[in-house]
Amino acid sequence: MTDKTTAYWTHLADNLQAETRLFIDGQFCNAINGATFETINPANGNIIAEVASGDEADINKAVASAKAAFKSGVWSTMAPRDRMDIMERFASLVDQHNDAFALLDSLDMGKTISETSTIDIPFAAHTIKYFAETIDKIEGKVTNTEHSALHYVRRQALGVVGCITPWNYPTMMACWKTAPALAAGNSVVLKPAEQSPLSALLLAKLFVEAGGPPGVFNVVNGPGEIAGKALALHHDVAKIAFTGSNEVGKLMMIYAGQSNMKQVAAETGGKSPHIFMPDLACMDTAVEYAVNAIYANQGEVCSAGSRLLVHQDIHDEFVEKFVSRAKQSYCIGNPLDPATTMGPLVDKKQQQRVQAYISAGLALGCNMPLGNAVPESLSAGNYVQPTLFTGVTNDMTIAREEIFGPVACIIPFATASEAVELANDTDYGLAAGIWSADLNTANIMARDIDAGIVWVNCYDHGDMTQPWGGFKQSGHGRDKCFDSVLQNMQSKSVWLNLA
Ligand code: NAD
């Protein structure tokens, strides 16, 4: 938890002077047509700022700047050690501006200040540092060929990488996408989500302050279906690194096909199973993880453990402990109060969407042992109370669709193989959790579950070495990890005739 007070954060918010223009070629600028959009504080409905709204012309300008910077070699051919130094300074500057980033993300999307200041921003800075450290570890190879030839494979940057990010972890997602692309020597154009446009502008400014050349890191805010689409269709963009919903992820692949066959890495949604076997070692610990896995960040987490598969022998005890733990741990309130553990949902649309799923669960006859009306005092914000459904079957809408809010479903099962079958009976495949004292059973289940990330006797643990991405319709890229630098490069085979 942050050691600063509500008064401290409120004072910063009241005196906010956030940059709102686009960032192109190392400078802030208005949108070419002068358009703006409002960014709204989801905790109270107030307008935070009017933000420059880019369209195709601004994307063209940003891509031209990124392309010129790439071609000039000012970043792409910089000695690895020098590029590392700049990226390391960039990481330090993000760390030093922790409060500014934490505040912008809390105000824009309703995240609690405790989470943004102690988790999101330190982790964002750490992401840049990790990728800085990869720069002089990138290697090509010499292959074992016939005597009369020398064959080597070199790795080269792609060119301009377009990064399109969601609102649920604004600074962190921007860093997951841009830092590996920059480390590989590319130039980037970042299009943040409309709901959280502010922190990306500070990020790009600090890159230049750290010594990053102008044109290498550009930010264009604007509507997804206009600015995002123009970026994804652009012929001078070599790759789109996308995180967001799978509907839009699929559009990215269509846009690539309609334009220049650019590479697409899509990190999309999830409906992750969290499995509790009857022999789990400690029920209290497992329940604590179950509660955090669905309610942290208001449930607006791609890897949220939203389908709780609980063995029938421990079902009733689990439900009772879950409800009691959730009531102790998650309380909705002002995101700028360091004691608040759950903020509002990102916007009215998302609140209504989540409320519609809750109504659907009730209409299906499920029990709702947790979930109340929001108090009148918070009615101006987009709040939804932590909610739990029991008596759920895996074919129900609430068990199949990504709700992206604080709503958990408990589905009972009788055997390990039934649990795996239920776990895999979904279009998604991002993450899964297994709790069992029998590591043999847990390993067999981990092998058989179709998910890119499996946690055993924990949930949401990990570090930068862990590839982050999904199976099936949860996408196909891998964020974090050394591989994601390599995914921002292409190999070139050079065959020399020595005869
Ligand atoms: P979204 O798909 O609505 O938007 C994501 C981004 O795409 C935004 O920047 C948006 O402006 C842009 N966009 C929208 N329409 C576009 C179009 N036609 N062309 C180009 N760009 C367009 O997603 P969201 O609501 O911002 O984020 C929530 C989703 O993100 C959830 O599904 C969540 O699971 C997913 N997510 C996945 C991961 C992961 O690592 N797999 C991480 C975080 C969030």
> What sign does the CA torsion over 303, 240, 167, 480 have?
positive
Residues above pLDDT 90, as percent of the chain: 99
Give the distance (Å) from ligand 1 centre to CA of residue 227: 13
* Nearest Cα residue to atom 16 of ligand 1: 224
Predicted confidence at residue 402, as pLDDT, reads 98
Output the CA torsion sign for 77, 91, 293, 383.
negative
| Whole-number pLDDT of residue 24 | 99
Q: Whose CA is nearest to atom 28 of ligand 1?
A: 244
Gap from CA of 192 to ligand 1 centroid (Å): 9
- For 31, 72, 87, 209, 218, the CA distances from 28, given in Å and listed in that order, are 10, 21, 21, 13, 10
In the prediction, which pLDDT does 77 show? 98
Burial code of 45-59, b = ≥16 C-beta within 10 A, e = fewer?
eeebbebbbbbbebb
pLDDT in tens, 129-168: 999 999 999 999 999 999 999 999 999 999 999 999 999 9
Q: Ligand 1 mean position to 304 CA, how many Å?
A: 16
d(CA 133, CA 481): 12
Tell me where in the chain the CATH 3.40.605.10 domain(s) lie.
6-268+476-493
Give me ligand 1 centre to Cα 193, in Å.
7
**What's residue 126's pLDDT?**
98
Residue nearest to atom 15 of ligand 1 (CA): 224
Atom of ligand 1 minimally distant from the CA of 222: 11
Say if residues 291 and 330 touch (Cβ distance below 8 Å): yes
**28-44 per-position pLDDT tens digit:** 999 999 999 999 999 99
User: Mutate which of 108, 127, 262, 268 to test ligand 1's pocket (most atoms within 8 Å of Cβ)?
Assistant: 268
Give the active site residues. Answer: 267, 302
pLDDT at 437: 98
For residue range 290-321, what is the model confidence (pLDDT) as tens digits? 999 999 999 999 999 999 999 999 999 999 99
Phi and psi, residue 250, nearest 5°: -65, -35
Report which ligand 1 atom has the smallest distance to the Cα of 169: 43
Fold of the 273-461 domain: Aldehyde Dehydrogenase; Chain A, domain 2 (3.40.309)
Angle at the Cα of 267 from the Cα atoms of 71 and 291, rounded to 5 degrees: 140
pLDDT at 279: 98
- Residue 25 banded pLDDT, cuts 50, 70, 90: very high
Tokens 């006859």 sit at which residue? 365
Supply the pLDDT for residue 255.
98
Provide CATH 3.40.309.10 ranges for the chain: 273-461
Q: What is the pLDDT of residue 2?
A: 76
Residue 21: C-alpha distances to residues 129, 163, 207, 220 (Å): 27, 18, 16, 9
- State in Å: Cα 264 to ligand 1 middle: 14
Letter for the amino acid at 127?
A: T
The closest residue, in CA terms, to atom 13 on ligand 1 is 224
Nearest C-alpha to atom 30 of ligand 1 is from which residue?
Answer: 244
Residue ranges lining ligand 1, Cβ < 6 Å: 164-168, 173, 191-194, 224-225, 228-229, 232, 243-245, 248, 251, 267-270, 302, 402, 404, 430, 468, 470, 474-475
**What is the dihedral sign for C-alpha 443, 448, 454, 457?**
negative
Q: Give the orientation angle of helix 98-109 with respect to helix 170-183, to 10 degrees.
A: 120
Nearest Cα to 393, choosing from 417, 367, 415? 367
pLDDT at 422: 98
CA atoms of 51 and 198, how far apart (whole Å): 8
> Closest Cα partner for 186 from 140, 155, 227, 221?
155
d(CA 399, CA 269): 14
- CA-nearest residue for atom 39, ligand 1, is 267
Express each pLDDT in 432-445 by its tens digit. 999 999 999 999 99
Closest CA to 37 of 223, 202, 228, 227: 223
**The CATH homologous superfamily of the domain defined by 6-268+476-493:** Aldehyde Dehydrogenase; Chain A, domain 1 (3.40.605.10)
pLDDT tens digits, one per residue of 81-127? 999 999 999 999 999 999 999 999 999 999 999 999 999 999 999 99
For residues 435-458, b (16+ Cβ closer than 10 Å) or e, as one string? bbeeeeebeebbeebbbbbbbbbe
Ligand 1 atom at minimal distance to the Cα of residue 350: 25
Which ligand 1 atom is at minimum distance from the Cα of 302? 34
Query: What spacing in Å lies between the alpha carbon of 166 and ligand 1's midpoint?
Result: 4
Q: Are 120 and 105 in contact (CB under 8 A)?
A: yes
Q: In 3D, which of 444, 403, 162 has the Cα closest to residue 277?
A: 444
Strands annotated E in 75-214: 141-142, 149-157, 160-164, 187-191
